[in-house]
Amino acid sequence: MRSGAGCSRWIVLLSLLESARATYSEDQCSWRGSGLSQQAGSVEQIALHCAEGSLDWLYPKGALRLSLSPRLPSGAVGPGGAGRNSEHITACIKPAETFRGAQIYLERDGILELLVPDRLDGPRPPRVHCFSRQPGEKVALFLQATPHQDISRRIAAFRYELRGHWNTRLSVDTDTVHYEGACRPCNDTEVLMAVCTSDFVVRGNIRSVSNDIDLHVSIIRVSASRIFRQKYALFSNGGRLSRAGEIRTLLQCGVKPGPGSFLFTGRVHFGEAWLGCAPRFKDFRQAYEDARDARELPCELALD
C-alpha cells in the first residue's frame, strides 16, 4: 500500500510540475504558465510580440512583468506612415469573467497604476481597459499575485489587443480612458479612408438602439442589406434579403434610431463590432463619386 501511495504522490507531483511549465504560443502571441514554478517574491519577465493574444496565469504566485511589443503590419499604423507613428501603440486588455488571484497594474516609466483589481466575488463583470504608449515611453503590465491560503481555482487570465496609431474614434468600454472626438461625424476624407481600413464595411438600416448604463455603451441593432467586408462573421442571416448584427458605440454619443440607409464602418474588438464612421449611404456615394472623378480614391468599393 505504501508503494502504491508513493507512486500516486509522484504522479501528482509530476503532473503539477508539468502544469507549472510556462508555454508560449508558436508565434509568441500568448503565454500560459503557473505560479507553482515561481519562487516567493520573484518576478518573471514575459515578452509577447503580436497584435493580439492572451495570457493565462494559473495559481498566481509572485509577480509577472509583461512587455507587449507587436510586430504591426503596415496597415495598422496611421495615415502618417510607419516612420512617424510606429512607436505610438494603443493597447486594450479584457480580463476573463473568472479572473481571480491577481491584480494588473500599468507600469509607465516606473510608476504603477491599478487597472484590474482581484475579483474575489465581484458583482460586476470585468471591463475592458485601454492605454496608450507615446514615443519614448516605457510601458509594461505588472501582474501581482494577491495572497490567499487556497490558490486552487484561481486563474488570472485576459486577452489583449494592440494596434498602431489608432485615431480618437477607437470606441471601447473603459473606466480610465476617454476618447475625445469619438462622437464627431466623419468628414469625407475620413469616411473614404475608413472604407479602406475598417474591419467591417456594411450597408444597412438601424432596427433599434438599446443603452447599457453600467457599461456606458449603446448597442445598435442593424439590418444589413449588403456586406462589403467583415473580418469575422458579425452579421448572420436576419431574413431572406438581409442579415442582422450588432454594433457598439459609446453611450455619450447619444445614438438614436432613425430612418434611411447608412454605411457602417468600424473595428472589431474582442469579437465585438465597434462603430467608426457611419454616414448616410447617399452622402457616402456622393463623396465616393466625387473622389473617383477627381482620381483621389484611396481604394475602390464595388457599389454596383
| Structure confidence by residue, pLDDT tens digits, 167-208 | 434 434 443 334 556 788 899 999 999 999 999 999 999 999
Grid coordinates representing 77 are 499604423
DSSP state for residue 280 in the 8-state scheme: B
Contact call for residues 114 and 105 (beta carbons, < 8 A): yes
Element (H, E) at 82: helix 82-85
- What residues does CATH 2.40.50.120 cover in the chain? 188-293
Can you list the positions of beta strands (E) in the chain? 23-24, 31-34, 43-48, 52-58, 63-68, 89-95, 102-108, 111-116, 129-133, 139-145, 155-163, 200-212, 217-230, 236-237, 243-250, 262-269, 272-275
CB hemisphere CA count around 234 (13 angstroms): 32
7 has a pLDDT exceeding 90: no
| Structure confidence by residue, pLDDT tens digits, 120-165 | 655 566 678 888 877 777 788 999 998 876 656 789 999 998 876 5
11 has a pLDDT exceeding 50: no
Q: What is the pLDDT of residue 103?
A: 92
Contact call for residues 72 and 51 (beta carbons, < 8 A): yes
Q: What is the pLDDT of residue 105?
A: 94
Grid coordinates representing 191 are 469616411
Poorest-confidence range of 63-67, 129-133, 166-170, 246-250?
Answer: 166-170
Q: What is the pLDDT of residue 183?
A: 83
What is the CATH T-level fold of the domain 188-293, as seen in this structure?
OB fold (Dihydrolipoamide Acetyltransferase, E2P) (2.40.50)
220 has a pLDDT exceeding 90: yes
Rounded mean pLDDT, 279-299: 94
β-strand partners of 32? 23, 56
13 has a pLDDT exceeding 70: no
β-strand partners of 221? 208, 246
Can you tell me whether residue 87 is helix, strand or coil?
Answer: coil
Grid coordinates representing 285 are 456615394
